[in-house]
């Protein structure tokens, strides 16, 4: 096939920065407030709560909880908090909120 018979519409040329896909969608602005809240909850769940249990293992006993019940319930609190924060931030992201 010669170049004379090929029209401009039949060839593909990638031009960076030019796209018709998602042209009416806004540019992402970063995490936003909900994303940073999710990062804070992740830090709390993976650093603060396990660190507190490691450094002060008698803390639940001081609060009146038996040791076995405390060691079963303490991981559930960050897990529920992390799940709720993830759902909260993703519902906002799918709606297009900040």
Summarised one tens digit per residue, pLDDT across range 41-88 is 889 888 988 888 788 888 878 888 888 888 787 788 888 999 998 888
The pLDDT of residue 3:
52
Query: What would the mean pLDDT of 5-13 be, rounded to a whole number?
Result: 65
State the Cα–Cα distance between residues 54 and 74, nearest whole angstrom: 12
Give the model's pLDDT for residue 24: 60
* 12 has pLDDT over 80: no
DSSP states of 61-94 as a string?
Answer: HHTT--HHHHHHHTTHHHHHHHHHHHHHHHHHHH
Percent of the chain whose predicted confidence (pLDDT) is above 70? 73
């Amino acid at each position: 096939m010669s170049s004379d018979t090929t029209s401009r519409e039949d060839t593909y040329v990638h031009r960076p920065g030019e796209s018709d896909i998602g042209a009416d969608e806004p540019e992402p602005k970063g995490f936003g407030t909900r994303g940073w809240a999710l990062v804070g909850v992740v830090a709390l769940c993976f650093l603060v709560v396990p660190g507190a249990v490691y450094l002060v293992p008698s803390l639940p006993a001081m609060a009146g909880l038996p040791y076995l019940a405390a060691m079963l319930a303490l991981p559930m609190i960050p897990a529920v908090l992390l799940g709720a924060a993830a759902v909260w931030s993703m519902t906002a992201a799918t709606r297009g909120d900040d």
